[in-house]
Chain A
């Protein structure tokens, strides 16, 4: 009799714990798409803006190269995705080079030859200008999101090794504008701040690991002022991206034309 009572209590306890966890998790759980949209809003201002990026490349822990870019970003009203104009300011050999990224319309301008070359989405990932795109990409527009992991979130250390309670979201492309085959993303539950991202190729190869940290107020919202980007193919290669100089400004649509690239003067 005591054995049977013990057995019933055990089953009831098990069911209670599981149901309680499932129900409480579902009640407070936002949709995955909402999580990503909110985290996009943390990274990206809701109006046209300009910012400067300092990219510092480390190889085996030693600083090896530094690039400074100026990015002019504006949301395309049709696609909901950012259009970016990226201009090189440093090093001197790259001064004046510019990349236009407007959906699948992408051009690279070289002031030395005074010519523009059309580039593919894959080609935009070559070189440092792509990092400007990593920063402003609106993931919610190009990817379908799905919450994975435990119902009430996942504990994850941020780049400063502080524990954060995060939503773990898996993103898969839902249009041709998506440049990654899959993305894993961790967003802090309390603040909607992105903490970490893992970016995969179409073939499933892990390409980049990004850590978002050093949150500072920029254009009215706390945004990551530093992103640590680990090259997952060559893990000895790590790049930090420091952003500054956020400046809301009117950017005419005509700037996002290849003919405008020679007129883009960075001062």
Chain B
């Protein structure tokens, strides 16, 4: 009898064991990771108000300080020790009709600093970045007219195919090129674009509307829209992009008073965490020195017959520009970009040595030599022929609260480094605090060490409206 009882118990155990096997006891423990506040929260589905307007505006204050250094080639103007900028930034677009949009982008700045007279007209500056109408003539065929910030290129540190980049900088708040691009002026142009299912064609014509204006070497506060910077020449751009073998290539032709530029860029995903990219352009043009001095003479900044810094090649030759890079993203939200920049029209090692040696013993030449560097910065082209760029971006170090980043421009000639580290802390939905710390590694005779400052810091507070 006892054995029959055992048999029944065994069968019961067998069945119950099967039932037990079907339970996901361990899996249910994951439910304990869900906070009670979520279980009790009754989140309304996202309700988004539909308006005819989209965009953003914010109020920003940025206090910048510099530690200046003794230079071998003295700068012609007094370098600032501090500056404070308060800006009201506005970037919106409105749907005016079913097919027509109006876009406006503007920044109004109040400036104070040890090199800015207060009170004076220098304390206010308006940056009118964009203002244009966009008409969707046919589906995905756009005709746009007005001041447009047209940007091309896929690299981060230097964009050889960003042909409209020259003379668009209005405020250098950071050495990070991506931050520089955030406050750049558009050009008056008419732009047509057709977007296909596998590519796009873009044509743009930017007319001359004002004569060429000189470099804004010192802080020129005004409400001048600076068309003398952005529209002092007739320019034409044509670009074609077509998706093929996952390369996303784009070919470009650009015509300006320098000549006919051709360019191309491609990118490819090499692995789940690596993207490689290349960007190239070429044109027959003179060396950086020759172009800078000619520009200075044409705009009255340099006297006619100003001596030229000896640069190895003074003729007008086909000059190549290249940015070759890759990005790598880790599983912990860190992205690193490494790029090599080649700027054939820039200084070689001998040219830079001349810049230092002649500029340091001939004060009369120092101002012209600095003009060449300022011209290169205004054109957004590198000073040197070769440059290494490193950038890291680490998002969500504190989830949704803290991002940090950094950029380094490394000179392969002497190992000198221009660097900036940044941190952004998101206090709330509307408030952000940013901190930027810059530094130069290298002696005063090196490429990056010859900058007027050895360290800089920016404290930035932003209130989104």
Partners in one complex: yes
In the bound complex, do residue A126 and residue B395 qualify as a contact, i.e. CB atoms below 8 Å apart?
yes
- The residue from B11, B24, B275 contacting A120, defined by CB atoms under 8 A apart: B275
In the bound complex, do residue A238 and residue B7 qualify as a contact, i.e. CB atoms below 8 Å apart?
no
- The residue from B18, B46, B269 contacting A245, defined by CB atoms under 8 A apart: B46
- The residue from B23, B50, B400 contacting A65, defined by CB atoms under 8 A apart: B400
Residues B275-295 near A (CB distance < 8 A) = 275, 277
Give a binary string over B325-345; 1 marks a CB under 8 Å from any A CB, 0 the rest.
Answer: 001111101010000000000
CB contact under 8 A between A95 and B181, given known A117-B156, A244-B45, A254-B196: no
* Interface status of A191 (Cβ within 8 A of chain B): no
CB contact under 8 A between A92 and B50, given known A113-B151, A230-B33: no
A231 vs chain B, min Cβ distance (A): 8
* Interface status of A215 (Cβ within 8 A of chain B): no
- What separation, in Å, do the CA atoms of A168 and B198 have in the docked complex? 39
Residue of A nearest to B201 (CB): A259
If over half of B's interface residues share one DSSP class (helix, strand or loop), that class is named, otherwise mixed; here it is mixed
- What separation, in Å, do the CA atoms of A140 and B461 have in the docked complex? 47
Give a binary string over B385-399; 1 marks a CB under 8 Å from any A CB, 0 the rest.
Answer: 000000000011001
In the bound complex, do residue A58 and residue B35 qualify as a contact, i.e. CB atoms below 8 Å apart?
yes
* Interface status of B243 (Cβ within 8 A of chain A): yes
In the bound complex, do residue A61 and residue B426 qualify as a contact, i.e. CB atoms below 8 Å apart?
no
A7 vs chain B, min Cβ distance (A): 9
User: Chain A interface: which of B54-62, B205-213, B349-357, B441-449?
Assistant: B54-62
In the bound complex, do residue A240 and residue B33 qualify as a contact, i.e. CB atoms below 8 Å apart?
no
Interface size of A in residues (CB-CB distance below 8 Å): 97
- What separation, in Å, do the CA atoms of A153 and B19 have in the docked complex? 10
A91 vs chain B, min Cβ distance (A): 5
* Interface status of A258 (Cβ within 8 A of chain B): yes
- The residue from B4, B37, B202, B271 contacting A61, defined by CB atoms under 8 A apart: B37
- What separation, in Å, do the CA atoms of A263 and B200 have in the docked complex? 13
Inter-chain contacts of A252 with B (CB < 8 A)? 139-140, 197
* Interface status of A28 (Cβ within 8 A of chain B): no
* Interface status of A237 (Cβ within 8 A of chain B): yes
Inter-chain contacts of A1 with B (CB < 8 A)? none
Give a binary string over A1-23; 1 marks a CB under 8 Å from any B CB, 0 the rest.
Answer: 01100100110011001000100
* Interface status of A64 (Cβ within 8 A of chain B): yes
In the bound complex, do residue B54 and residue A266 qualify as a contact, i.e. CB atoms below 8 Å apart?
yes
* Interface status of B114 (Cβ within 8 A of chain A): no
In the bound complex, do residue B149 and residue A70 qualify as a contact, i.e. CB atoms below 8 Å apart?
no
Residue of A nearest to B275 (CB): A120
In the bound complex, do residue B28 and residue A156 qualify as a contact, i.e. CB atoms below 8 Å apart?
yes
CB contact under 8 A between A119 and B275, given known A62-B37, A240-B41, A244-B46: yes
Inter-chain contacts of B35 with A (CB < 8 A)? 58, 60-61, 238
Residue of B nearest to A102 (CB): B243
In the bound complex, do residue A242 and residue B18 qualify as a contact, i.e. CB atoms below 8 Å apart?
no
Residues B367-399 near A (CB distance < 8 A) = 395-396, 399
Inter-chain contacts of A231 with B (CB < 8 A)? 399
In the bound complex, do residue B22 and residue A265 qualify as a contact, i.e. CB atoms below 8 Å apart?
no
- What separation, in Å, do the CA atoms of A245 and B54 have in the docked complex? 19
B47 vs chain A, min Cβ distance (A): 7
CB contact under 8 A between A244 and B272, given known A122-B329, A126-B329, A238-B33: no
| Interface CB pairs A-B, < 8 A, 9 | A17-B15, A64-B400, A96-B54, A120-B274, A120-B329, A150-B22, A186-B27, A244-B47, A267-B51
**Which 3 pairs from chain A and chain B are nearest by CB?**
A244-B45, A61-B35, A54-B46
